[in-house]
Amino acid sequence: MSQTDDSKQACADTFNHDHKACKLEALEKAEKLCLERGAQLTPIRHKVLELIWDSHEAVKAYDLLDRIKPFNDSAKPATVYRALDFLIEQKLIHRVESMNAFIGCNHVEGKHDLLLLICEGCRQIEERPATPVMDSLANELKQAGFTARRKTLEIHGICKHCADGAA
């Protein structure tokens, strides 16, 4: 089984869902939102988004470039970075700062303050809205008179799936 197949299996086990359906739903939502926003989801942007959604693992820009070459042999780093910038701007993906990588966004229509749970075992990343935590954080920021541009908490550890497997 390849690493991608392992990732899809871990995704299905860890997040208890069909990853093909998950990916298809994410791409359909992205297409719909871009259409509603008047934003152009070009073929290259769509392909980058599709490659990001191949799993729930963070993917680095240069890995995306390698994976996009079979579909667009003239793609350059700037091509991928421009697509990533667009996808972030449209709130269709997240940058995982601690890994200098990107993941698909599960909550494209919602508030974009989030908690990322990053498993060091299977490398899957779970996006959680963590509303009480983020509300508490917003309150702290307000009391400090600090205006945040974005809030993302990244927590590295071991997911339930990996912990159960190690037991």
Is pLDDT of 137 > 70? yes
Distance, CA of 96 to CA of 94 (rounded, Å): 6
Q: How many domains does the chain have?
A: 1
> pLDDT-derived band of residue 112, with 50, 70 and 90 as boundaries?
low
The answer to whether 65 and 51 are in contact (CB under 8 A) is: no
> pLDDT-derived band of residue 134, with 50, 70 and 90 as boundaries?
confident
Domain membership of residue 54 as a residue range: 3-166
Cα-trace Rg, the chain: 17
Tell me which residue of 116, 73, 80, 122 sits closest to 97, measured CA to CA: 116
DSSP states of 87-113 as a string? HHHTTSEEEEGGGTEEEE-S-TTS---
Query: For residue 115, what is the domain's CATH number?
Result: 1.10.10.10
Tell me the pLDDT tens digit for each residue of 31-57: 999 999 999 999 999 999 999 999 889
